[in-house]
Structure 1
Amino acid sequence: MTLTNKKNQLLNESEEEPVQLDEVLSKLGAFGKHQLITMCMLALVYATNSIYNVNYVFAVEDVNYRCKVPECDSKDSSFSAPWLNLSSLDLETDGLKQCHQHPPLNNQCLVFNTSLTEKCTEWVYDVPNSFVAEFGLACNDWKATLVGSIHLFGSMVGQLIQGQISDRFGRKIAAVFAGTMGAVLGLTKSFTTSYWTYIVLEGLEAAIGDALSPMFMLSIEIVEKKRAILYQMILLNFYTCGQIIMPFIAWAVPYWRNFLRVIYAPTLIILFYSFFLDESIRWLFSKGKKEQGIRLIEKIAKRNNIKIERNLLNRLDYSEEDTSNKINDRKLLMKTFRSRIMMQRFLVCMVWWFTITLINYGMMISSVLISGNKYLNFALLIMMDIPANVLYWVALSKYKRKMPLIVSFIVGGVFCISQPFLPKGYAWLGLALFMMFEMLATFSYNIVYMYTSELFPTYTRNSMHSICSAVGRVGSLLAPQTPLLMTYWTGLPALIFGVSSLLSGALTLFMPETARTQLPDTIREAETIGKKKYKYDPASETLKGT
């Protein structure tokens, strides 16, 4: 048989070859009517979720207070003099924590009529209608910071919950449920009159009201893989814009109860996503719902005015686990963990997530501690995320996944470690490194979010992604404590950030490259990521690695 005959035979056989799902998704397009409608729905979740994750920074703002002096505060409960921006002294007397401020001795009207051994029972706040004032948290500063810690802990638990719901019941159901609960619990927080009730609602909202995880999975599964990066870059900029807008909302609506109502009310619309949002095609196929998945493909094609032949859909091939023994979701998850390769990836992903959450939340907390207008400082720092998002798209489109992540971790680590050793006269250089490191931290965060989702099979993808995120979020719990390390050495937090970043960069060397490969549907496919496969290319009459 001649080479030409062999070529023709291969071409004829290729017409009957199974078609991969990515090929069908590519025919549906990335920015048709269906995708644009879906993107608008996803954009709302991305933008509002970014606000909810850190709203406590402004809702539970730090305010000054002092012990009330009847002689001075009988007519006006506001601060009587600017010097009374009090720094409290906690004193242990008779087993009680006391809080007392010494005013200038030459101002008799402002001398306290309480002794150091007497506990203050009334307080004056510089913002009387603030969260701290309404719940009477004077001399209990730990109660204010507890709000943020509870939210971060709830987010960690929520990642585990949302991942399981998403993989078992679908991306759509998980997203609609979480988005609606987030709005309801968030609005309920604004009406509570009990501090501890607020704490419970804060934890619940973070645990069961975070719709970002299932929405992210839906966003990367709605288009072919090579388009997912561009799709994510656009959505990430909506996420960033939400955080940029948040401080200005807090500035315009300073009363914390009204602030919460303004930011949570828009997401009540997510309840109606039940009627307009479509399920992930990949998830439908992974659950053996091939006919339902094909009907959805035909619906999308019709909406986008694209013709897809039925013969193509009949040849659609989708690898899935053997479900003849009715393997449940828990067993599928355990099967993933029993794979040595999957476990190695899981451990590295945990280090990644610990590093990026520690650094990103640490940087965010630092931004409101910088002198100046805290609203503008926060917005300016977050604006660095926009070039980071664009760089994420450009770098991953050209340089795949692995190398950009290694470079960002290592360069960011070097920047961070070098900052404490800069000469004191070069404060501008320290600020420049701070801003550059923030951009690199966001860049790394974006890659890790995408990279993690491409390492595991479809039927446990959201679960594995959520577990990595949840375990890694221990870093976000430790981030608020990092400023305390400055009492030992001012550069210690930066040093820890830098070392963690360098370690993550080194571990990335052992991970496979996932770019330009199809999203794995089974453990076997996931394990072969990074291993070359060869396929006959009719155009060049050669075997090419894929």
Structure 2
Amino acid sequence: MSAAMDKEKKFDLDDVLSKFGIFKKYHRQKILLLFIAFASNSMYCNQFIFVTEPVQYRCIDRDDLDQSVCSYNSSDVCTQWIYEEPNSFVATFELACQDWKRTLVGSAHNFGYMVGLLIVGPMSDRFGRKAAIVATGVLGGVIGVLRSFSTWYWIFVALEFLEACIGDICSPAFVLSLEIVQQKKRLLFNMIVSLGYSVGGTTLGLVAWLVPSWRWLLRTIYTPALLFIFYIFLLDESPRWYLSNGRKEKASAILEKAATTNNIKLDKNMLDNLNCEADESTNFKEVVLGTMKSRKLRTRFFVCLVWWTTSTFVNYGLVLNSISLQGNKYLNFALTQIIDVPGMFFITYILVRFKRKKPLIICFVVGAVLCLSQPFIPMDLPWLSITFYMAGKLMSSFYFNITYLYTSELFPTYTRNSMHALCSSLGRIGSLVAQQTPLLTVYWIGLPAFVFGSASLFAGFVTLLVPDVSDDSLPDNVKQAEALGMKERKAVL
């Protein structure tokens, strides 16, 4: 009788994944592949900071490099410009006195990223995480290289938008990193692969220092992305995605392959009785509407939207302005990236010990305090100003990383990448607005920091509206997603 009942017992994927150690051969291979994907995405997201960096220029009939000549009246029209760096992006496209065209490149990239998330996320849910990773990785590399040969400014801007739109490998890679490990090992595994993002950003700063030509900089960082085509053979699809689409045989094959690679034996009965629910729609419109019908998921969506907008607004604003700090601009940028490495270990320890909700609230509040304090630091203490700046950047990285993870844990498998992408896409409004914050200094030098701090404070407050899900397995359907946090609530009662 008990043997018959054991055969009929259904097993969750986490029951099988618990048999694997993330430092065994199979998952070590996946760590390396996903680490590279994150590193490449980090370089591509910030490359325009160095590609389109400002340079000094002067009119040919003047001796000084002074951009104030742009305020000349109609009788002082300049017919020819001389640039401090003749091979720079500004000089190549003759952008003297058209600084808006230089900053437009960053806006085009961020807007393309917003639009692209609404394409890549649903594509990942519909065709699989692996297919999305390979497609975005290769297309991003191709478009990036093509952009380096552009001889017309508007073609360059269009390619910048297109590359950001369909070349975002980070979104499907991140979701895959969550789905191929057990719940208890999810945080550590994600922390390790996410270190690629910091390493990639640091590498960009150093490569930009060594390769001053903007065309060769693009070719140097984008050409290796063409190798993502080999991920067809090196990377496996998410077994969780296969199960959510009713393809149990495919999921079992991957799990058996992983077991063979690690020289372990899986219980055949466990694989035969895996939970496999595939009655949910993956149509993007239906996914969004289905989510919004649930009051709990609707609330979570709007909270996640606040998190993402605040995270991109503050984090991107601080990174963008880092090259304006005193000292070597390349090293300053690299410092804002590499400081996330020890920070990642620290925040992982905190999340393991104190779950998700409280650390996120604390990070938002402390980040707000650091931002609000910045304007009141004495001007004659630059070391203290830079210290507060880097501390604020580190704190914004903390809550950005928690937001990335937390968002993915709040929604079911069949819609996880779509909802994660939707929150991330709409939240990128923050990165667009961040580019305009320097204009606020006209009214008060500390106004941008005050806005950053206020946004962080508000985001910390709305976090009270969502449950802590660190002790729950990833939900596969709406019912399971709505039940998240119930263990914690029962424990309190």
Shared fold by TM > 0.5?
yes
Distance 1:367 1:329 in 2: 38
Query: Residue 147 of structure 1: which of 99, 105, 110 is its match?
Result: 105
Correspondences of 1:7-18 after superposition (within 5 Å): 17-18=9-10
Which 10-residue stretch deviates more, 35-44 or 250-259?
Answer: 35-44
Task: Quote how far apart the aligned CAs of 1:395 are.
Answer: 0.9
Q: Is there any run of 5+ residues in structure 2 with no aligned partner, and where?
A: none
Cα deviation, 1:380-426, whole Å, max 9, x if unaligned, reads: 22222112211121011111111110110111111211222234454
Task: Quote how far apart the aligned CAs of 1:85 are.
Answer: 2.6
Query: Residue 482 of structure 1: which of 437, 447, 453 is its match?
Result: 437
Correspondences of 1:387-398 after superposition (within 5 Å): 387-398=342-353
Change (3 A) 1:411 1:91: closer
Change (3 A) 1:327 1:279: closer
Distance 2:349 2:304 in 1: 23
SS of aligned partner of 1:66: strand
Matched, 1:439 2:394: yes
Query: Residue 510 of structure 1: which of 450, 465, 480 is its match?
Result: 465
Query: Residue 322 of structure 1: which of 279, 290, 296 is its match?
Result: 279
Letter of the structure 2 residue corresponding to residue 322 of structure 1: D
Change (3 A) 1:348 1:64: same
Distance 2:372 2:398 in 1: 18
What is the match of residue 157 of structure 2?
199
Query: Residue 300 of structure 2: which of 318, 336, 345 is its match?
Result: 345
What is the match of residue 235 of structure 1?
193
What is the match of residue 50 of structure 1?
42
Letter of the structure 2 residue corresponding to residue 357 of structure 1: T
Distance 1:225 1:265 in 2: 36
Report if aligned partners of 2:243, 2:275 keep a CA contact under 8 Å in 1: no
Letter of the structure 1 residue corresponding to residue 43 of structure 2: I
Report if aligned partners of 1:179, 1:210 keep a CA contact under 8 Å in 2: yes
Query: Residue 497 of structure 1: which of 452, 465, 482 is its match?
Result: 452
What is the match of residue 537 of structure 1?
none
Distance 2:364 2:215 in 1: 39
What is the match of residue 386 of structure 1?
341
Matched, 1:29 2:9: no
SS of aligned partner of 1:322: coil
Query: Residue 62 of structure 1: which of 33, 41, 54 is its match?
Result: 54
Task: Quote how far apart the aligned CAs of 1:274 are.
Answer: 1.2
Task: Quote how far apart the aligned CAs of 1:93 are.
Answer: 4.6
Change (3 A) 1:439 1:378: same
SS of aligned partner of 2:410: coil
Report if aligned partners of 1:391, 1:443 keep a CA contact under 8 Å in 2: no
Distance 1:145 1:426 in 2: 30
Change (3 A) 1:31 1:427: same
Report if aligned partners of 1:485, 1:492 keep a CA contact under 8 Å in 2: yes
Change (3 A) 1:410 1:198: same
Cα deviation, 1:267-311, whole Å, max 9, x if unaligned, reads: 110012112211001100001111111111111111111100211
Task: Quote how far apart the aligned CAs of 1:91 are.
Answer: 3.8
Normalising by structure 1, we get a TM-score of: 0.86
Query: Residue 222 of structure 2: which of 245, 264, 272 is its match?
Result: 264
Task: Quote how far apart the aligned CAs of 1:248 are.
Answer: 1.3
Task: Quote how far apart the aligned CAs of 1:16 are.
Answer: 5.6
Change (3 A) 1:122 1:423: closer
What is the match of residue 88 of structure 1?
68
What is the match of residue 143 of structure 2?
185
Cα deviation, 1:151-180, whole Å, max 9, x if unaligned, reads: 010011111111010011110111111111
Distance 1:328 1:185 in 2: 28
How many pairs are equivalent? 493
Q: Is there any run of 5+ residues in structure 1 with no aligned partner, and where?
A: 1-8, 73-79, 95-116, 535-542
Letter of the structure 1 residue corresponding to residue 194 of structure 2: L
Report if aligned partners of 1:182, 1:209 keep a CA contact under 8 Å in 2: yes
Query: Residue 210 of structure 1: which of 165, 168, 171 is its match?
Result: 168
Distance 1:308 1:409 in 2: 43
What is the match of residue 356 of structure 1?
311
Matched, 1:277 2:232: no
Task: Quote how far apart the aligned CAs of 1:333 are.
Answer: 3.4
Report if aligned partners of 1:233, 1:392 keep a CA contact under 8 Å in 2: no
What is the match of residue 85 of structure 2?
127
SS of aligned partner of 1:371: coil
Cα deviation, 1:317-347, whole Å, max 9, x if unaligned, reads: 24x3536xx7745323321221111110000
Change (3 A) 1:327 1:428: closer
SS of aligned partner of 2:70: strand
Report if aligned partners of 1:285, 1:293 keep a CA contact under 8 Å in 2: yes
Letter of the structure 2 residue corresponding to residue 240 of structure 1: S
Distance 1:312 1:119 in 2: 79
Letter of the structure 2 residue corresponding to residue 90 of structure 1: C
Letter of the structure 2 residue corresponding to residue 243 of structure 1: G
Task: Quote how far apart the aligned CAs of 1:89 are.
Answer: 3.6
Report if aligned partners of 2:242, 2:251 keep a CA contact under 8 Å in 1: yes
SS of aligned partner of 1:443: helix
Matched, 1:225 2:183: yes
Report if aligned partners of 1:301, 1:308 keep a CA contact under 8 Å in 2: yes
What is the match of residue 106 of structure 1?
none
Distance 1:428 1:61 in 2: 25
Cα deviation, 1:84-137, whole Å, max 9, x if unaligned, reads: 23122434755xxxxxxxxxxxxxxxxxxxxxx042121101111111111111
Task: Quote how far apart the aligned CAs of 1:371 are.
Answer: 2.4
Matched, 1:529 2:484: yes
Distance 1:93 1:87 in 2: 14
Normalising by structure 2, we get a TM-score of: 0.95
Distance 1:393 1:183 in 2: 31
What is the match of residue 98 of structure 1?
none
Letter of the structure 2 residue corresponding to residue 21 of structure 1: L
Query: How large is the Cα RMSD of the aligned pairs?
Result: 2.2
Letter of the structure 2 residue corresponding to residue 38 of structure 1: K
Cα deviation, 1:414-442, whole Å, max 9, x if unaligned, reads: 12112222344544333222111111110
Report if aligned partners of 1:321, 1:522 keep a CA contact under 8 Å in 2: no
Report if aligned partners of 2:284, 2:418 keep a CA contact under 8 Å in 1: no
